[in-house]
A and B are shown apart, each in its own frame.
Chain A
């Protein structure tokens, strides 16, 4: 079957069009062919100048994420035939929220610096942080980790750093200094690790401006992640851990704290009181319109957390956090 691929081209070289443009290639496709196979075939047989990243072709190296028919996907893990049958088209563009360098290749440096910002390596507690070279020859040096401990970070460590989540993130589109879902998933990988010694410090840093409280819970990151990392879930884990550990001296957490107070006091949401205490936070977030992405996607994300009033998503988020906090509080009193 012949399918027309419309691929966005761009070359920064002199003498090339200054603006990206679409080029069409017609390709004979067969059952089982992935979009990456198709791109490779086009590059081999029709146009060797076409540039795109690739390596493992088995959805584990994270190189080949592009925008297919409007959504961030791994090209190796997207089959041409079903995709075409569903969408009736085959439009391939570079990832959004990223600057294109050539054709489908985008500048990934901002992605990597976001990851670097969370100091993405374990800094164990002092008991375990022995001198280098002082490694026991055998297991069982007190470093036991249970299956439950692993469960807590299991999803977050599946990330392949493909950038699909950042590409679809609404908060990132609003604020290009936002740390973004991929880095936050990585942050939870460390904060949630029982062996980590600096969780609190990490939470404090993550609570700074452009940090974890920026997320507007649009669920896109979770929806588009090809490896079921569920970054939003990891962000929620970070937030609730921050509340639990009392990392409160920041607008995001204050907002939640106010909520928790209110819930405890009257058993329901007292919005006026809450807004008063968190005015600063709302100002920093609430005035900025988002929904741009929503329009592009032409639909609402599935778990409908996104009513018309801009701050409601945030409010619900906070409401849930508060409930959780209260429950913990209750349990603590009981036990």
Chain B
């Protein structure tokens, strides 16, 4: 949406196509905040250093520099658009500490930052008269001669296939958390854009880096914001110990997410868990602080786990949260296909490298969304509309008819369930060669079976089952990319932790993993990391 606003402000005719209404996008669930060095006592260089270090030196430093330098400007712009950031007593924008950051630089709107900003983007869409095709599911990116021509989308309401002819397309389809069983992501976060991109011939980068968030609710995986630790929450094991003291003695609970997730998993695996969880204790913060700063967290804990954090600690465990990898782009969101851009969580610029810092991804979506919008606008103003191939609609219609025609196969939901369990078991917080290779084989087997999945709903109106089949196709591609990248990377870096290679290996592996699809097979290659200011050092907290 940020990209659309930018392009519309340039006077272009812009439309947003989304499978859910824009205010339902999963950014709405972001709680903790958005980072920017806006105070005199902070600097973009500090922000950059924290981000580089957080990325375990795999982030591209040219991109990170842009992110951190432009962040304050974007925050002010959001405020100007109408964002209601929480304020400090003197009326300035307040900031809270976040894991992995050396300065409290996370701006927030209580614990509803994503909700506030997403609704703000929606307001601006209306203001700029951007056309909204809501509940349209993109089924295909139309590319010919390395130039994008538009997209094919299904209108969910009546099942019609539409062609949207355009000079530029920006993919901003968010993450793929649903590939894993326990996840903080929405039911709609199925990595469609990454699958679409692979099918269109694009490359995905660093897919093996999956962030596991340390504090997700027991049964559902619903997120308890890092802000809860930022505000001073403790993590306790079954013995009541603040176990983070053993893993990150100085910053404890505020260590980077990968570090905390592994610590929790170790505690649980070594028998110091509480029913497969550890405990997040907020009680010492007191009712006032919890009600003022973390009201939504209290509500979520009560409604979804039956625990009131005022009186009881919250049972939590790690869950898949964020996709560091994604569609490979340059710092303007451009891909190698002309007119095709990507931004937000579906893209990999790469600013997060092997591990993203909390509060940096909303920022990424805003900064690089804006830049992608501007770059797409420049291109649109400079070129004529390329032709739209007649065959595209026909091909898509055939694909879908094929799926609808199949009978007596497995259901998509059964296959999806299996996939999520395989990924959790084989590509989770702790990985090793044996587990990964077996996991990859299982995913490939699931892909075979996917070809025979059939539907019982053959109707046109809101056919959720058809949607589930299309999403599953993308998820399997994403799952395979993650597993293949992880098998190959014989080191531990950021969120990718291999018990058989527990150290980082800069000599061999200070490079990005790149996957692409060739004749429906995934091929892996590697790309150098951009290192400008900060040479790799050991990462300790």
CA–CA, A135 and B80, complex, Å: 8
Q: A61-B29, A120-B123 are in contact. Are A49 and B80 (CB under 8 A)?
A: no
The CA-CA distance from A240 to B293 in the complex, in Å, is 30
Q: Pull 15 A–B residue pairs with CB atoms less than 8 Å apart, ordered by A.
A: A44-B411, A49-B456, A49-B459, A49-B465, A58-B300, A58-B304, A59-B299, A61-B28, A79-B303, A121-B82, A121-B124, A121-B127, A122-B82, A145-B91, A158-B112
Asked whether, in the complex, the Cβ of A56 is within 8 Å of the Cβ of B28, the reply is: yes
Of A50, A108, A116, A141, the contact of B126 (CB 8 Å cutoff) = A116
For the complex, what is the distance from the CA of A138 to the CA of B40, rounded to whole Å?
Answer: 9
B2 to chain A, nearest CB (A): 14
In the assembled complex, the Cα of A121 lies from the Cα of B81 at a distance in Å of 8
- Let me know if A138 and B84 touch, CB within 8 A: no
User: Which A residues are in CB contact (< 8 Å) with B115?
Assistant: 60, 160
* Binding stretch for chain B, among A146-154, A286-294, A297-305: A146-154
Which of A56, A128, A145, A157 is B26 in contact with, Cβ under 8 Å? Answer: A56
Closest 10 CB pairs of A and B: A122-B82, A144-B91, A121-B123, A51-B462, A44-B413, A49-B457, A121-B127, A61-B24, A48-B465, A56-B186
Within 8 A of B (CB), among A115-151: 116, 119-122, 124, 128, 130, 132, 135-141, 143-147, 150
**When A55-B26, A56-B186 are in contact, do A32 and B157 touch as well, CB less than 8 Å?**
no
Q: Which residue of B lies closest to A101 (CB)?
A: B157
Chain A residues with Cβ below 8 Å from B86 are 150
- Indicate whether B52 reaches chain A with its CB closer than 8 angstroms: no
Interchain CB contact under 8 A, A143 and B79? yes
Complex CA gap A239/B232 in Å reads: 41
Proximity bits, A78-104, B CB within 8 Å = 1, else 0: 010000000000000000000001110
Residue A230 CB within 8 A of the other chain: no
B10 closest partner in A (C-beta) = A132
- Whether the pair A62, B23 counts as a contact (CB closer than 8 A) is yes
- Residue contact A13 to B460, C-beta cutoff 8 Å: yes
Chain A hits for B91, CB < 8 A: 144-147
Give the interface centre of B25, B77, B84, B299 by most chain A CB atoms within 10 Å.
Answer: B84
A255 within 8 A of B: no
Asked whether, in the complex, the Cβ of A11 is within 8 Å of the Cβ of B461, the reply is yes
Min CB–CB distance B225 → chain A (angstroms)? 12
Interface residues of B in 91-145 (CB under 8 A from A): 91-93, 112, 115-116, 119, 123-124, 126-127
Minimum C-beta distance from A103 to chain B (A): 8
What are the interface flags for B405-437 relative to A under an 8 Å C-beta threshold, 1 for contact and 0 otherwise? 000000101000000000000000000000000
A51 touching B413, Cβ below 8 Å: no
Out of A48, A57, A136, name the residue touching B186 (CB < 8 Å): A57
Are B92 and A144 in contact (CB-based, < 8 A)? yes
Question: Is there a chain A Cβ closer than 8 Å to B350's Cβ?
Answer: no
**B398 CB–A CB distance under 8 Å:** no
- Complex Cα spacing A56 to B223, Å: 11
Query: Which residues in B have their C-beta under 8 angstroms from that of A112?
Result: 21
Interface range for A: 35 or more
Q: How far is the CA of A40 from the CA of B468 in the complex (A)?
A: 12
Residues facing B in A39-69 (CB within 8 A) are: 40, 43-45, 48-51, 53-63
Residue B72 is within 8 A (CB to CB) of chain A in the complex:
yes
Asked if residues B411 and A48 are in contact (CB atoms below 8 Å), the reply is yes
Known: A49-B459, A51-B461, A55-B26. 10 other contacts (CB 8 A): A11-B461, A45-B413, A51-B464, A56-B24, A60-B28, A60-B115, A101-B462, A135-B73, A137-B72, A144-B92
Tell me if B222 is interfacial: C-beta within 8 Å of chain A: yes
Interface string of A1-35 (1 = CB under 8 A from B): 00000000001110000000000000000001010
Give the docked Cα–Cα distance between A139 and B92 (Å). Answer: 7
| A220 CB–B CB distance under 8 Å | no
Q: Does B323 contact A (CB under 8 A)?
A: no
Which residues does chain B contribute within 8 Å of A136, judged by CB atoms? 73, 76
Q: Which residues of B contact A43 (CB under 8 A)?
A: 413, 464
User: Which residue of the partner chain B has the closest CB to A196?
Assistant: B82
Evaluate contact between A137 and B76: CB separation under 8 angstroms.
Answer: yes
Q: Is B324 an interface residue (CB 8 A)?
A: no
Taking a contact as CB atoms under 8 Å apart, the answer to whether B461 and A13 are in contact is yes
A146 partner residues in chain B, CB cutoff 8 A: 87, 91
Once A61-B28, A121-B126 are accepted as A-B contacts, the answer to whether A32 and B219 lie under 8 Å apart by CB is: yes
Report Cα–Cα, A102/B462, bound state, in Å.
Answer: 7
| Contact partners of B73 in chain A: CB under 8 A | 135-137
User: In the assembled complex, how far is the CB of residue A79 from the closest CB belonging to chain B, in whole angstroms?
Assistant: 8
Residues on B with C-beta less than 8 A from A108 are 21
Shortest A54–chain B CB gap in Å is 6
Interface size bucket, B side? 35 or more
A224 to B85, CA, bound (A): 27
Q: Which residues of B contact A (CB under 8 A)?
A: 9, 20-21, 23-26, 28-29, 38-40, 72-73, 76-77, 79-82, 84, 86-87, 89-93, 112, 115-116, 119, 123-124, 126-127, 157, 186-188, 219-220, 222-223, 296, 299-300, 303-306, 411, 413, 455-457, 459-465
Q: CB < 8 Å: which of B38, B463, B465 contacts A138?
A: B38
**Are the CB atoms of A12 and B461 closer together than 8 Å?**
yes
Contacts of B20 in A (CB 8 A): 53, 55, 61, 63
- Contact A193 to B459, CB < 8 A, known contacts A55-B20, A60-B115, A139-B76: no
Contacts known (A58-B304, A121-B126, A122-B81); A145 close to B461, Cβ less than 8 A: no
List of A residues within 8 angstroms of B455 by Cβ? 48
Task: Note all chain A residues with C-beta closer than 8 A to B157.
Answer: 101
A229 contacts B by Cβ under 8 Å: no
Least CB distance from B131 to A in Å reads 13
Chain B residues lying within 8 Å of A158, measured Cβ to Cβ, are: 112
Q: How far is the CB of A163 from chain B (nearest CB, A)?
A: 11
A38 to B296, CA, bound (A): 24
In the complex the two chains form, what is the Cα distance from A217 to B516 in whole Å? 60
A57 and B222: CB pair below 8 A? yes
Give the residue among A40, A51, A55, A141 with the most B Cβ atoms within 10 A: A55
Which chain A residues lie closer than 8 Å to B304 at the CB level? Answer: 34, 58
Q: Report the separation of the CA atoms of residues A45 and B456 in the bound assembly, to the nearest whole angstrom.
A: 12
Which residues of B lie under 8 Å from residue A58 when comparing CB positions?
Answer: 29, 220, 222-223, 300, 304
Interface centre among A119, A137, A141 (most CB of B within 10 A): A137
Cross-chain contact B461 with A101 (CB below 8 angstroms): yes
What is the CA–CA distance of A144 and B87 in the complex, to the nearest angstrom? 9
Contacts of A124 in B (CB 8 A): 80, 82
A161 / chain B contacts, CB cutoff of 8 Å: 23
Within 8 A of B (CB), among A158-174: 158, 160-161
Contacts of B90 in A (CB 8 A): 144
A77 within 8 A of B: yes
Q: State the Cβ distance, A298 to closest chain B Cβ, in Å.
A: 26
**Cβ contact within 8 Å between B84 and A63:** no
In the complex the two chains form, is A57's CB within 8 Å of B457's CB? no
Is A105 located at the chain interface by the 8 A CB criterion? yes
Give the CA-CA distance A161 to B23 in the complex, in Å: 8
Query: How many Å lie between the Cα of A61 and that of B21 in the bound state?
Result: 10
Determine the chain B residues whose CB is within 8 A of the CB of A120 once the complex forms.
Answer: 123, 126
**Once bound together, how far apart are the Cα atoms of A61 and B92, in whole Å?**
29
